Amino acid sequence: SEIELMKVHPHAALPKLGMESECKARSKEESEREELREALRKTCMFSALSDEHLVEISNTMQRTTFNPGDRLGPLQGEPTSVIFVITEGTVTRRRRWRQPDGTLVDSHQEFVESVGAGEKLCAVGALHALNQEPSHATSIATSAGVAWILQSDTLASYLTRPSITKQVIAGLTSEIVHMSELYRHPLLEQPPQMINIAAVSVAAAFEAYYRAFMNSLMNATLTGERGAYFPNMHVQIPSRVAYINGFKATRQWLANVVDGGMDSRQFDERYREELLLVPALLPGLFMTPVSGLLEACNAGHSNREPLWRRMWRGFLPRTFREVIFGVGLNQLSDYCEERVPNSLSTTKVIRNGIGSVTAGIFAGYFSHVPHNLSTMKLLHPDGSYATHFSRLVDQAQNSIPADVPSRLRRSLAVTRAIVWPTGVMVRSTQIIGSFVILNGVSHLLDVRQWRR
């Protein structure tokens, strides 16, 4: 045995142990090369290469490691001279906004994508390295990992061979078709548009009349008491302008804060999804007092309290409603617009309108219960929320046939008060119209849109 051999000849087994160690090292290297080839298959440039060419290229690539915070490749705008193929770990790619004059804006960086093991993409710089073009984004590691480097000169030498060039073209063509059909921003990663205060203000001033009219109809639907259609417009118009600009501006500001904190590593990248909730949810919270003032302007016929006091009635459910409204106006409208099929329309204005209508349907429906409770509390402040909800259930119960057993009838009424309550169509119509007016008019008046 090996042990007995070492007892008799202590150095006799050393060559064998050395061979085993060398074999293990070769096996590990081959395993890593195999992982590299699998990763290369996922890249658009090398996806259609034959096995023979894939092995040849992978054998010329150099292995490197990285740690969290390391930058892989050039900064945005600098020449790209290498391709990084990541087999372990992840990196985040971000790019700065570019002004019409070509200068980069340091105050805001837009998340582009995550690249690495377990992600859809595993390569950085693949499309820019051949001609050493300026990097599209800056890539920063978010974990420790392993990457493989392919120099642009080496890539260029391979592409002088017609067989490889033909296969690369086939892979790129397939990827172009695929990406044009599938690429979309997730809801919370919708990039905020740079606010045009003048355009948004004009849109909000027009929309203030529509909102006042629809709010009066909604109040009459809930209570049966009809008030003036356009009360206190000297208060409503400036308040509505401040309200809509506030939603847009706070979203942009909070997005800049979150992105800046992640870029400077003040915030942990692992909590990125949670941090993205900040610019989505907080604008609604900040704008709730202004919303209360607007609601109070339409409630003077029922609630005789001073305007400054009644604006705080129904504050708690109104907060939930404003959060939903803010997400719908900001992220969801852009999300829906981005997903309008090209077969339906390629015109920006029409796509914007379709996206606004779709977002308005969702925002109007999911905000109707907190809206009803806040409105009932505003119009009748002496009643509790439980009392007001019971009244809404009573209204719903009137539409259920009387021959239904009483217990079942009450249960159905509660369900209807939540799922399809009084005024849901009026509320949804109000939100749909508001989104269309606000997004459409501000888009048409923003001259920057016409330069695209």
Q: Where are the domains of the chain?
A: 27-183, 188-451
Which pLDDT score, from 0 to 100, does residue 360 have? Answer: 95
The per-residue pLDDT for 270 is 75
Low-confidence ranges of the chain (pLDDT < 50): 1-10, 12, 100, 450-452
User: How do residues 6-24 score in pLDDT, each as one tens digit?
Assistant: 444 445 455 555 666 666 6
Which CATH code for domain 188-451? 1.50.40
CB atoms within 10 A of CB 5: 12
The reported pLDDT for the residue numbered 17 is 55
For residue 49, what pLDDT is reported?
A: 92
- Note the pLDDT of residue 186: 86
Q: What pLDDT does residue 60 have?
A: 92
- Residue 236 has a pLDDT of 95
Cross-strand pairs, 83: 150
Q: Which helix (H) or strand (E) holds 65?
A: strand 62-66
Give CB contacts under 8 A, 24+ apart, made by 211-214: 211/236, 211/240, 211/294, 211/430, 211/434, 212/236, 212/297, 212/298, 214/426, 214/429, 214/430, 214/433
pLDDT of 36: 92
Strands (E), 67-135: 82-88, 90-98, 104-116, 123-124
* pLDDT tens by residue, 292-321: 999 999 998 888 999 999 999 999 999 999
Please indicate whether the domains covering 27-183 and 188-451 agree at the CATH topology level.
no
Residue-level pLDDT at 6: 41
What is the structure's pLDDT at 102?
55
pLDDT the model gives residue 68: 92
Homologous superfamily, domain 27-183: Jelly Rolls (2.60.120.10)
Q: What is the pLDDT of residue 101?
A: 53
CB 213 within 8 A of CB 236: no
